[in-house]
Amino acid sequence: MRPVLEVLSGGMGMALQDAGRPGWRRFGVAPAGVMDRHAAGAANRLLGNPVGAAVLELLMLGQRLRVLDDTWLALAGAARAGTLEPWSARRFERGEVLEFVPEAAGVWGYLAVPGGISAPRWFGSVSVDPRNGMGRALREGDKLLASAGDLLVESAPSIGRRVLRVDERRDYARPPVLELLAGPQWAGFPAAARDALVGQAWMVSAQSDRSGYRLEGAPLEPAPAILSEPVLPGSLQVPGNGLPIVTLNDGPTVGGYPKIAILRDSQRDWLVQCRPETDVRFQWSH
Amino acid sequence: MARIFARLGIALGRLAGEVWGFAMDPYPLHPYSERGWLLDIGDPAERLALFAALETLPPERLAEFVPGFGNVLLLFVEPVAREEVARWLARPKAPKLLERPGQHHRIPVRYDGPDLAEVARAIGVSVEEVIGLHSGQPYEVMLMGFSPGFPYLGPLHPRLHLARRESPRARVTAGAVAIGGCHAGIYPAVSPGGWHLLGTTDFVLFRPEKAGLAAASAREVFTLAAGDRVSFVPIL
């Protein structure tokens, strides 16, 4: 393990994340983990890491990091730092500073280090949950440790950059119409509500975070209340005001709002990259 | 009422026949995500038996199970056909497993909660009677949620059923013993909360420091599990 980065500024937000801690929901433990598995996996693959290795999850912009040791770094998702473009990796020299600036679209960016970031784990995940006694948030002066030494590029020592294949990159300015599966209470909603869910453009609310994204639009006719039951990430819960909340990684493990739908697993990575105040559309999956 | 009789009928039918060995699928299964099935199951004894079976002889490729109040989510590592789940449910279970009871915990409580007097006033009884109603009967851990290790306990005495506080507290202390709606609960850690606080306990529900150890079992990290019984013991 070697220190490779030092936090100079947290910007809008940053946290260590990995594949999360599924398996503990029945004790009330949220799954946590990276919001966009596709982008985090891409950053890791650029360095030959396991796709679920721990990465630095960056919210929007403003973060500053100092490189403490010559090392490869990979970036993917909605983040850019000077000459380090998203969906690419390059070699950095000790002393360089990364300053993250916003991309045109998207919310979350992922920075990977060789071997993944090494940090304490709770239930197998580096994701912290200070309120519940699991670690503390990153702050200025913290050093991030790489699990592996630097990459060896033996065949061509002059190679200083890697890029991801174009078809594996994503343009978050153009999300697809997201596919929905019927939720457990789908049949309890009036047909008009089921139609209205896919018949309008929803706006992602500014009141959205790692627990859930709220959607704004013409309210849906609600369904009868239910007893609290398990809630999976990607579920569209409809509270009394008729405006859906998409439950996400840090959200509650059980809930009492009827769930009209759940995003297809692959679609969640697109949804989380939809910025507040931008539109998202849904379609029923067949 | 009809629902109670239907449940009773199912329970008696099971006693008479082989357990879960019905030709028909006795449990409604509802798909939830590509790899989950929600199983309707509300009877406490049946739930306990199911939890025991899921812990000791789970269906193949089960990732985890999550109890709800009237159902249980069976989440698999990949999509699994309804028939496969139904076949596992229909498999006769070993009697020893069916009889395995959950653990019984006696939890000491100091009835010093800030809402004790208000609750007594709201339901028109003395503080002593509130304590008697709260500690007078054992509870089942119906599920855990809200925060790691937070148990939803039931049944709560009907006289103690109260709507949650109109304005939730921003900070409830760890170990707060509380009631909300038709459930009793205990806050494992400091958190916001809208339940009525009756008392406090030193009984530890969640040991996050143990969660860092790869070898730690669920019981080392969490004292309670769904299906356990809990009794509150008043202390001075």
> Could you report the per-residue pLDDT of B123-138, keeping only the tens digit for each?
999 999 999 999 999 9
Summarize the confidence of residues B127-155 as an average pLDDT.
Answer: 96
- Cβ-based contacts of B144 with chain A (< 8 Å): 26-28
Q: Are A186 and A262 in contact (CB under 8 A)?
A: no
Question: Given an 8 Å threshold on Cβ–Cβ distance, is A26 in contact with B144?
Answer: yes
- Of A124, A149, A168, the residue at which a domain comes to its end is A168
The beta-carbon neighbor of A134 closest among B32, B144, B208 is B208
Q: Which domain holds residue A236?
A: 178-284
**Is A72 part of a structural domain of the chain?**
yes
Domain identity same for A52 and A164 = yes
pLDDT above 90 (res A95): yes
Looking at residue A186, its pLDDT comes to 97
Predicted model pTM: 0.90
Q: How many CB pairs under 8 A join A and B?
A: 109
- Cβ-based contacts of A128 with chain B (< 8 Å): none
Question: Given an 8 Å threshold on Cβ–Cβ distance, is A182 in contact with B31?
Answer: yes
Looking at residue A265, its pLDDT comes to 97
Domain identity same for A38 and A121 = yes
Domain identity same for A160 and A188 = no
User: Nearest CA of chain B to the CA of A199: how many Å?
Assistant: 22
User: Nearest CA of chain B to the CA of A169: how many Å?
Assistant: 25
Question: Given an 8 Å threshold on Cβ–Cβ distance, is A232 in contact with B36?
Answer: yes
The beta-carbon neighbor of A133 closest among B65, B73, B189 is B189
Task: Using alpha carbons, select from A107, A95, A94, A134 the residue that is nearest to residue A14.
Answer: A107
Looking at residue B17, its pLDDT comes to 38
Greater confidence (A205 vs B17) lies with: A205
Label residue A151 by pLDDT band (50, 70, 90).
confident
pLDDT above 90 (res A154): no
**Is A68 part of a structural domain of the chain?**
yes
Domain identity same for A62 and A187 = no
Looking at residue B21, its pLDDT comes to 43
What is the domain count for chain A? 2
Greater confidence (A132 vs B17) lies with: A132
- Whether the CB of A225 is below 8 Å from some CB of chain B: the reply is no
- Whether the CB of A182 is below 8 Å from some CB of chain B: the reply is yes
Question: Given an 8 Å threshold on Cβ–Cβ distance, is B144 in contact with A262?
Answer: no
pLDDT above 70 (res B10): no
Summarize the confidence of residues B195-220 as an average pLDDT.
Answer: 91
Domain identity same for A100 and A204 = no
Per-residue pLDDT tens digits for B21-46: 444 556 799 999 999 999 999 888 88
Domain identity same for A186 and A154 = no
**Is A134 part of a structural domain of the chain?**
yes
CA atoms of B150 and B158, how far apart (whole Å):
21
Task: Using alpha carbons, select from A161, A34, A163, A159 the residue that is nearest to residue A87.
Answer: A163
Summarize the confidence of residues A267-271 as an average pLDDT.
Answer: 98
Interface test with A, best of B55, B73, B213 (most A CBs within 10 A): B73
Domain identity same for A16 and A144 = yes
Domain identity same for A115 and A228 = no
CATH number at residue A231: 2.40.100.10
Domain identity same for A123 and A195 = no
Summarize the confidence of residues B142-165 as an average pLDDT.
Answer: 94
- Of A139, A168, A197, the residue at which a domain comes to its end is A168
Average pLDDT, chain A: 95
Label residue B1 by pLDDT band (50, 70, 90).
very low
Distances (CA, A) of A269 to A36, A134, A273, B35, B103: 4, 25, 7, 17, 41
Question: Given an 8 Å threshold on Cβ–Cβ distance, is B38 in contact with A28?
Answer: no
Looking at residue B102, its pLDDT comes to 77
Please give the angle made by the CA atoms of B220, B224 and B227, to the nearest 5 degrees. Answer: 130
The residue in chain A having the minimum alpha-carbon distance to the alpha carbon of residue B222 is A27
- Whether the CB of A284 is below 8 Å from some CB of chain B: the reply is no
Summarize the confidence of residues B79-98 as an average pLDDT.
Answer: 82
Label residue B164 by pLDDT band (50, 70, 90).
confident
Looking at residue B98, its pLDDT comes to 53
- Cβ-based contacts of A22 with chain B (< 8 Å): 63-64
**Is A208 part of a structural domain of the chain?**
yes
pLDDT above 80 (res A81): yes
Domain identity same for A188 and A155 = no
- Whether the CB of B219 is below 8 Å from some CB of chain A: the reply is no
Q: Which residue has the tokens 């309120």?
A: A131
pLDDT above 60 (res A16): yes
Greater confidence (A196 vs B96) lies with: A196
**Is A173 part of a structural domain of the chain?**
no
- Whether the CB of B132 is below 8 Å from some CB of chain A: the reply is no
Q: What is the DSSP letter of B95?
A: H
Distances (CA, A) of A116 to A37, A284, B83: 15, 37, 40
- Of A148, A168, A188, the residue at which a domain comes to its end is A168
**Where do runs of H (alpha helix) occur along B17-158?**
44-56, 82-90, 95-99, 116-123, 127-135
Q: What is the three-class DSSP state of A181? A: strand
Looking at residue A1, its pLDDT comes to 87
Per-residue pLDDT tens digits for B173-205: 999 999 999 999 999 999 999 999 999 999 999
- The amino acid that residue A226 corresponds to is I
Percentage of residues of chain A with pLDDT beyond 90:
92
Strand partners, B139: B230
The beta-carbon neighbor of A232 closest among B33, B148, B212 is B33
Summarize the confidence of residues A136-148 as an average pLDDT.
Answer: 96
Label residue B100 by pLDDT band (50, 70, 90).
low
Looking at residue B18, its pLDDT comes to 41
* End-to-end Cα distance, chain A: 48
Q: Are A123 and A23 in contact (CB under 8 A)?
A: yes
User: Nearest CA of chain A to the CA of B144: how many Å?
Assistant: 5
**Minimum mean pLDDT among A17-21, A279-283, B119-123, B160-164: which range?**
B160-164
Summarize the confidence of residues A27-48 as an average pLDDT.
Answer: 97
Looking at residue B168, its pLDDT comes to 87
- Whether the CB of A130 is below 8 Å from some CB of chain B: the reply is no
Average pLDDT, chain B: 87
Domain identity same for A233 and A118 = no
Domain identity same for A127 and A156 = yes
Percentage of residues of chain B with pLDDT beyond 90:
69
Structure tokens at B196: 């009525």
Supply the Cα-derived Rg of chain A in whole angstroms: 20
Question: Given an 8 Å threshold on Cβ–Cβ distance, is A133 in contact with B206?
Answer: yes
**Is A79 part of a structural domain of the chain?**
yes
- Whether the CB of B192 is below 8 Å from some CB of chain A: the reply is no
**Is A49 part of a structural domain of the chain?**
yes
**Is A36 part of a structural domain of the chain?**
yes
